[in-house]
Structure 1
């Protein structure tokens, strides 16, 4: 049985195919750049006014108390006249600066009398002027490979006239749920004795989407070899980049996943990890497609996904940070374990994010323990746990 660290190292050696496509920035929200993006235009495109006011020659402040208004320049319009000695132009925010002018006096510091102004301040030369290229010059790098495309970056791309960008496409992840007890609510409205609603597939659909993948729900495989093999074959027909199954990987008489894996030409890398939750975990290949067999218990399946599958998906989509983010918090209660396996305890953070406490019952069958959780506390295999008041690193859940 592998340690958590050994299993993670093996899992990280599995890489998914990276596909690059070109999309508009607006269609790329949440994706990651596949190469550096450089500017083809300066920003601003030209010298323009940062305020509503009057475009002047700074030298005129020394000699002229009054200036004549010879032009008016709204945003989106071109200057019609050059500013010469003793003249100025009415100008509005974003409008291009006229030739000859180098400074803008804001309108609050000016008295206007018909077509003349009197200035009551002495602004510095260049005041209230946005210079051409002061934010970006031609050839500057806007964003580097692996940068997430967020709302602000989309706005910047469009401001610079960037209409298409290369991004990493999302990998396709097939999901197979196994178990005679599982019932799809869309196909049956009431449970019979011994049945449960299928939830792992819906949980993993959301988890895969959150990680940046495209989930493919391949339905429920019953606990017999033929049905499990057919489910694997159907999953392969969807051309996935990764196949996940939940359940059927333990040591019970009806757990058929490993046997079916070998029957369809798959290979097994490891089975079982010294981990709680998540001991029955399978990693292998099915016809060159990576395969993870997750436990059937809801908590075990989701925690195993976050620990082992999440970073592989993040790597495939070009993310710079592939693991769950971490932060240091203070424990509000003791957190100990009574076994020699590594354990990931589900915790809820205080409103200010400084303190953590367990989310109640930590049974791997209690999905409420993750539904209420904000983070995971890792207790290594060689440690008993942590006492109240301890500072510990937690993994923040997506």
Structure 2
């Protein structure tokens, strides 16, 4: 199977993933525990927002018709239009003895020509429809003099102006950020129905791998299994639950046992290493033995060319139903492994988890590069670096070392400059497509 273009591989991945069923693969949890979870059903507001007409300013509430009537009377007394501004200072209202702070309601309606002191969030009294802010007034005794003529309805937040009861407040598929949680709390929503978090098995492969918690000294040729922790962290960041199977040596029987168990107990499987063309790269052969359909064996991307994507039918799935499990065999070089996740697996998890389509694909923007970028041009190339916004302008600063085995060079990066096939050079200051990570 030849190398497939990046866009084609993305299309294959998303076509293989079947989103969770909102009825079967969901749970009801307290709103306080719902941060970053995906909503499984629409939540409709039980209340109008605002709940009642209220003031958007500290000032005075009154009936606009009273002021308009007063203006007409004053204006009719004058025969020359140039005196209009002079008589604006004579607009006046009687101030009632009451006042309305936030959280208080006044049952008594305003009488003709009256106004009442009101504070931000205070409920408008019956009859009032306009607020003048205190900075535009002068108070002498119980008389309020208006220095400007307000606009009818000014500084009033009307009942139901933001949303009316029965309207969808947050839609299914939405990721619950602090903003959504605040809105739901305002609507007195104590519990929400969310998709359960996918369980993603992670299998590291290789004789050279040593567990992080091992106290034994490293022998020549051994390395700490950092990939297991990096990929598990990316899984958690994507809103799923990582199920680490630890490091499995390059042994067919042990690998087959681990893969079978992972398939039977997880919603998706990621194995790291063993997908290239070496004598100890057993993953593809074992998947075929287990009846998998291999859709991708390599992708035209740098780094991350060795990539196996397969699907298997699993009758012992997490929820007990027969379903298709998507399997990702990603390369063992640390940055290559993370690249495969960022470009293909993160979107697959989002779709599986019920997130809306806007979360299925990476987000790209254009930025100017602070240094020249180079590529051989034979594969779509991703160069990692830091995206900043000096003076509001997106700016990409590449790292100095692009070895896919150098995880240290990726510390602190937040973006990837994308160089398309046949694009070999981007000069300093030119625009480049940048993928956010």
Question: If the TM-score is normalised by the length of the shorter chain, which range does it land in?
Answer: 0.7 to 0.9
Deviation at 1:203, TM superposition (A): 0.8
Greater mean deviation of Cα atoms: 36-45 or 101-110: 101-110
**Among 117, 121, 130, the residue aligned to 2:143:** 117
Question: For 1:170, what is the secondary structure of its paired residue?
Answer: coil
Query: In structure 2, do the counterparts of structure 1 residues 25 and 68 end up closer, same or farther at CA, with 3 Å as the change threshold?
Result: same
Q: Which residue of 1 aligns with 2:399?
A: 359
**Residue pairs, 1:156-305, within 5 angstroms:** 156-188=183-215, 190-237=217-264, 239-286=265-312, 287=314, 288-305=324-341
Displacement of 1:110 in angstroms is 4.1
1:2 corresponds in structure 2 to 3
Report the Cα distance in structure 1 between the residues aligned to 2:28 and 2:138, rounded to whole angstroms. 51
Q: Distance between the aligned counterparts of 2:373 and 2:92, measured in 1?
A: 76
Deviation at 1:303, TM superposition (A): 0.7
Q: What's the offset of the Cα at 1:185?
A: 1.9
Corresponding residue of 2:356: 319
2:379, 2:65 → 1: CA distance? Answer: 78
Q: Which moved further from structure 2: 224-233 or 11-20?
A: 11-20
Q: 2:52 aligns with which of 42, 46, 63?
A: 46
Aligned residue number for residue 431 of structure 2: 391
Number of equivalenced pairs: 394
Match of 1:347 among 385, 406, 409: 385
CA distance in 2, matches of 1:54, 1:357: 54
Change (3 A) 1:368 1:52: same
Greater shift in the superposed pair: 142-151 or 325-334: 142-151
Give 1:377-388 correspondences, 5 Å limit: 377-388=417-428
Residue 16 of structure 2 aligns to a residue whose secondary structure is: coil
* Deviation per residue, 1:44-65 (Å, 9 max, x gap): 1112223334433344442884
Change (3 A) 1:373 1:110: same
SS, match of residue 306 in structure 2:
coil
Q: Are positions 1:12 and 2:49 aligned together?
A: no
Task: Report the aligned-residue RMSD.
Answer: 2.8
- CA contact 1:17–1:241 (8 Å) conserved in 2: no
* 221-230 vs 273-282, which moves further: 273-282
Q: Deviations over 1:113-156 (max 9, x none)?
A: 3xx33334343333333221222223444344443322222222
Cα offsets for 1:236-267 (capped at 9, x unmatched): 34x21110000122222222323333444434
Give the 3 Å change call, closer, same or farther, for CA 130–12 of structure 1 in structure 2. Answer: closer
Alignment match of 2:129 (pick from 102, 113, 133): 102
Instruction: Give the secondary structure class of the aligned counterpart of 2:396.
Output: strand
* Greater percentage in helix: 2
Shift of the 138–295 alpha-carbon distance from structure 1 to 2, 3 Å rule, reads same
Residues 93 and 115, structure 2, Cα contact 8 Å, conserved in 1? no
98 and 342 in structure 1: CA distance in 2 versus 1, 3 angstrom threshold? closer
Question: Which 10-residue stretch deviates more, 292-301 or 208-217?
Answer: 208-217
Deviates more, 1:175-184 or 1:383-392: 383-392
Q: Unaligned regions of 5+ residues in structure 2, if any?
A: 74-90, 315-323
Paired position in structure 1 for 2:182? 155
Q: How far does residue 270 in structure 1 lie from its aligned partner after superposition?
A: 3.0
| TM-score normalised by the chain length of structure 1 | 0.87
Q: Structure 1 250/35 Cα, relative in aligned 2: closer, same or farther at 3 Å?
A: same
Given that 2:138 and 2:144 are in contact with CA atoms closer than 8 Å, whether structure 1 keeps it comes out as: yes
Distance in 2, matches of 1:148 and 1:275, equals: 30
Structure 2: how far apart are the matches of 1:86 and 1:354?
A: 56
Aligned pair in 2 of structure 1 residues 342, 81: CA closer, same or farther (>3 Å)?
closer
TM-score, scaled to structure 2: 0.80
What secondary structure does 2:357 align onto? coil
Secondary structure of 1:303's counterpart equals: helix
Query: How far apart in 1 are the matches of 2:401 and 2:95?
Result: 79
Give distance in 2, aligned partners of 1:110 and 1:210: 56
1: distance between equivalents of 2:93 and 2:295? 85
